[in-house]
Every structure is written in C-alpha cells, then in structure tokens.
Structure 1
Amino acid sequence: MYFRIRYDADGYRALAYASNHQLIWWTEGYVSKADARRAIDLIKREGPGGDVHQ
C-alpha cells in the first residue's frame, strides 16, 4: 500500500493505492496539503502503513 497527495478542482486529496497500483481509498478535498497529509497520518496510525508518493 502507498499513498499519494493530489491537487484537483476540490483541493488537495489523499489517495491510497494497493500494491497492484489500484486506487482503494480517497478523501474529500482539503484546502491545505497539510490537512491531506494529516488524513494519511491518521490512516497510517490506525491501519496498515505505507509510503507517501508525491
């Protein structure tokens, strides 16, 4: 599993991908990149770990 932060029309989104590169999870759009990073940190703390690709 790995994570990515992407900017789109709704703001910054945190996305989680499986090891086969399939998108499995995403967040709402956040105003700041730091908020998207906090969402990833929460998932990493409460669930399985993974790398962050930016």
Structure 2
Amino acid sequence: MAHKFEIKKNKKGEFVAYFSYNGETMFWTEGYTTKSAAKNAIESIKKNGPDAPTDDTTD
C-alpha cells in the first residue's frame, strides 16, 4: 500500500498518528495521552479531510 496511518509513541510517551505516502511521512498529529485519542484523530482526518478547502496564502 502506498499510503498509511501509523500510531507511534514520541519521546514523551504520547501517542502520535503519522500519515505516510510511499514511505515518506507527510504529516503527523499532536501527541495524545491515550491510543484511542490518536485513533479518533485518524478517524476525524478520514471523515473531514477529503472535503477540506485549500487556502493558498502565498500572495
């Protein structure tokens, strides 16, 4: 699979959700105290992300 979400622990011991494409990390979430909170973040991204607008502020 070319893209995936992965949950890892950071140095603080928090759970972080990473999104990778072709093995390269594209973005990650903030750290969460529980794994279920990181899973909820992934579900929120899947639900709300596809219709998110692009805001180009490079003008």
Normalised-by-shorter TM-score class: 0.7 to 0.9
By relative contact order (CA 8 Å, sep 6+), the higher-ranking structure is 1
TM-score by length of 1: 0.76
**For residues 47 and 2 of structure 1, what CA distance do their matches in structure 2 show?**
15
**Which consecutive unaligned segments of at least 5 residues does structure 2 have?**
51-59
2:18 aligned residue: 15
Count of paired positions: 47
Q: Please, what is the CA RMSD of the aligned residues?
A: 1.2
How many percent identity over aligned positions?
36
TM-score by length of 2: 0.71
1:35 aligned residue: 37
**Which consecutive unaligned segments of at least 5 residues does structure 1 have?**
49-54
